[in-house]
Structure 1
Amino acid sequence: MAEHVDPGDPNEVAKALASRLADPVGVFAAPGRVNLIGEHTDYNAGLCLPIALPHATYAAVARRDDDLLTVASVQQDARVEVRLPDIAPGTVDGWASYVAGVAWALREAGHELPGMDLVVDGHVPLGSGLSSSAALICSAALAMCAAAGIDPGRDALVDATMRAEAEIAGAPTGGLDQTASLLGREGHALLIDFRDRTTRQVGWRPRSEGLELLVVDTRAAHSHSDGGYRSRREDCEAAAHRLGLATLREATLADLDRLGDDRLLRRTRHVVSEIERVRQVVAALEQDDWSRVGALFTESHASMRDDFEISCPELDEVVATAVDGGALGARMTGGGFGGSVIALVPADAAASIAEQVGERFAARGWPAPGVLPAPASAGAHEVA
């Protein structure tokens, strides 16, 4: 059977977390995200359409009277301690590097930070492709800014969290995850144009049409800091260079024959067609054409499976099962090589489709998948 993954009650989580510090400044939440469409297009200056999830990571913070940053987690036994001036690439390992990286990036941007104690509690499934890393890094950013009494603005925090993840944590993401976590809005998807980093809110309310966005965590773990993500990014950069373009945003399908390399051709075809699918999904949403949205989801998955080669058997199994069970469409979401699938399903069929997915996984001897509720939720904020 599939397992329901509850986001937890924000006020209860915040109260428990604050009790771990003697004099907390506050507790701050930043959500994970589901990317509706637009995969591996962010670092190609393309278009993406994510929503923020109700599942979040929470960070409680208290000031210290020295220059130490201490980081602890409800999910970990060990506490990490480092002097703020000592943080640099290669000095902090593991999950704590994401938190330490925020302090480093804010200081690099010229902000004065006090010593701090941070305690975090993650409610975004790890390795799920739902950006638990961005939830961690963005909740830490809000907490540190509150402790320092600064407000750099959300756009500046996107920059800082991107630097932290790329240069300290060693995960060169394109900015989609951090932008969605910081700028998400309830009932809306966020259209992001990474050519100029502009954003636009787009209504996303499938429940008003009797539909549900079902998110299935395959439990096939993935990581942005592994080689697969980096190699796809390198392929895209190589293709743009071969075409004489700054990024693949400027490429067209007519350019494919000029590449002279089958792998780069397929990588480019995915990026060019995926950017166009984002445009088409937005247009379909504006016309309430949910069948078209679903069909574009399924087309996107085929492109990621065949051209970008970032799917895996678990992801393909969920997509096939969902579509066979009556979904309007389904696709893997996130960086790939594991993680999660989204399926646009009739609300009255959601439980049945989730059960069918669980049965298929059991028959293959795979761990039971997780199923998450996925209403478009608010971005990073202080928990009252």
Structure 2
Amino acid sequence: MGAQQVRDGFVALYGAEPDGVWSAPGRVNLIGEHTDYNDGFVMPFALPHTTVAAVSRRTDGVLRLHSANVKDTAGTAGGVVELRLDALAPESDRNWTAYPAGVFWALREAGHPVTGADIHLASTVPTGAGLSSSAALEVVVALALNDLYELGLQRWQLARLCQRAENVYVGAPTGIMDQTAAACCTEGHALFLDTRDLSQRQIPFDLAAEGMRLLVVDTRVKHAHSDGEYGKRRAGCEKGAALLGVDALRDVPYDGLDAALARLGDEEEVRRLVRHVVTEDHRVERVVSLLESGDTRAIGPLLTEGHASLRDDFRISGPELDLVVDTALEAGALGARMTGGGFGGSAIVLAEAGDADAITKAVEAAFAAAGFTAPRTFEAVPAAGARRLV
């Protein structure tokens, strides 16, 4: 949805022009899954799918929220939700409004003088597909408030505040990758991010120029980060770090992995989690090296290797995701893996441009034969991060 449509929607709702219009994208993670909360490496890029927000300041401590994507039982757009900033409390809201409200809460907790807003939102980021629709929502609100209230915060600082909103206010134990991707990605690049210190390198990633395409296959199986399984994986990683005497699993060297696993003894579940995180960090570094040397096709097997690790060690894949990967590879894909938090969501497929349509049809046929809901497939092209539109 374009800036003018969202602006017009704001006027219809609130009876005045907004102070501005902003957007923030969803993201695909090329490689580096469940490494961000282990202080590790990730490599996301922004999608052209965005959440757009028209926003005006208020000075009375009131927050009014409306989303064009939220429908009532009759299928029409829901009404405006009104909240008081002084009544916001962590984990008090289980609705979509928790994400923008959480940003206000996090900013105020950090001492920033935000005094309210009228907000109208519209999004093309698929929800529940592992493409960070929640981070896009958080970051677009944070960027708007940063501009309107002249807070002077850097993009990485906004990402940190949005992560705190999701961790504490919403109650989802996510890492920093999604918010940083939405805030900091640039068009035509993948973001090589060290989640420990938030140092970044923009790595050119133009598959079309090399005759390739990256497909996103949304299995339409919904996932929810605040459900218990994600939290269990994070707690298991933290247990592994404690048993190994390191600050985070990032500190376990790849060439010392076997020795580390031996030290964990019969802690089999923890051993699996540690093995995934350490090998996944190594895969990210290998992908960066290959992209920087121009050997892009060689990243395909690393994507597939990452999927096997997520399936067998981290155990967060599922029948639909595995079917996408297996079918795509049989149909000639260069590599494929699940992306995002797991337990549903999306997979990515790296393919020669001439093979992409046949792979898409093969996956659709496999889903039909298995009796699964038809997947939705689209091409992912690295897009711009969060920005002001008007």
- Report the TM-score, using the length of structure 2 for normalisation: 0.93
Cα distance in 1 between the residues matched to 2:8 and 2:335: 39
Letter of the 1:224 counterpart = H
Letter of the 2:104 counterpart = A
C-alpha spacing 1:231/1:48, structure 2 compared with 1 (3 Å): same
**What residue in structure 1 maps to residue 263 of structure 2?**
258
**What residue in structure 1 maps to residue 308 of structure 2?**
302
**What residue in structure 2 maps to residue 66 of structure 1?**
60
1:75-121 CA deviation, whole Å, 9 max, x = no partner? 22143211111112133331101100000111112111132111111
| SS class of match (2:327) | helix
Question: Tell me, which stretches of 5 or more residues in structure 1 are unaligned?
Answer: 1-7
1:163-188 CA deviation, whole Å, 9 max, x = no partner? 11111111111100000000000011
Cα distance in 1 between the residues matched to 2:246 and 2:330: 41
Matches within 5 A, 1:128-207: 128-207=129-208
1:258-285 CA deviation, whole Å, 9 max, x = no partner? 1121111111000000000000000111
| SS class of match (1:30) | strand
Letter of the 1:54 counterpart = P
Tell me the percent identity.
50
**What residue in structure 2 maps to residue 55 of structure 1?**
49
1:243-271 CA deviation, whole Å, 9 max, x = no partner? 11111011131211111211111110000
| SS class of match (2:143) | helix
Picking from 39, 47, 51, the partner of 1:45 is 39
C-alpha spacing 1:361/1:242, structure 2 compared with 1 (3 Å): same
Residue 319 (structure 1) shift: 0.5
**What residue in structure 1 maps to residue 385 of structure 2?**
379
| SS class of match (1:344) | strand
Residue 11 (structure 1) shift: 4.0
Q: Does 1:270 align with 2:276?
A: yes
Residue 372 (structure 1) shift: 2.2
Picking from 292, 295, 312, the partner of 1:286 is 292
Cα distance in 2 between the residues matched to 1:363 and 1:79: 43
Picking from 353, 358, 364, the partner of 1:352 is 358
Cα distance in 1 between the residues matched to 2:87 and 2:3: 35
Residue 65 (structure 1) shift: 4.3
Residue 12 (structure 1) shift: 5.0
| SS class of match (2:83) | strand
Picking from 1, 18, 25, the partner of 1:24 is 18
| SS class of match (1:62) | strand
Letter of the 2:199 counterpart = T
* Greater Cα offset, 154-163 or 177-186: 154-163
**What residue in structure 2 maps to residue 5 of structure 1?**
none
**What residue in structure 2 maps to residue 4 of structure 1?**
none
Cα distance in 1 between the residues matched to 2:58 and 2:84: 12
* Greater Cα offset, 74-83 or 52-61: 74-83
Picking from 311, 321, 324, the partner of 1:315 is 321
Letter of the 2:91 counterpart = G
Question: Tell me, which stretches of 5 or more residues in structure 2 are unaligned?
Answer: 71-77
Residue 299 (structure 1) shift: 0.3
1:138-160 CA deviation, whole Å, 9 max, x = no partner? 11112222332333121210111
Query: 1:131–1:177: 8 Å Cα contact kept in structure 2?
Result: yes
Query: 2:3–2:21: 8 Å Cα contact kept in structure 1?
Result: no
RMSD, aligned CA: 1.4
- Report the TM-score, using the length of structure 1 for normalisation: 0.95
| SS class of match (1:59) | strand
| SS class of match (2:106) | helix
* Greater Cα offset, 114-123 or 296-305: 114-123
1:206-227 CA deviation, whole Å, 9 max, x = no partner? 1111000101100011111111
Query: 1:114–1:148: 8 Å Cα contact kept in structure 2?
Result: no
Matches within 5 A, 1:1-16: 8=1, 10-11=2-3, 13-16=5-8
Residue 28 (structure 1) shift: 0.9
Residue 16 (structure 1) shift: 4.2
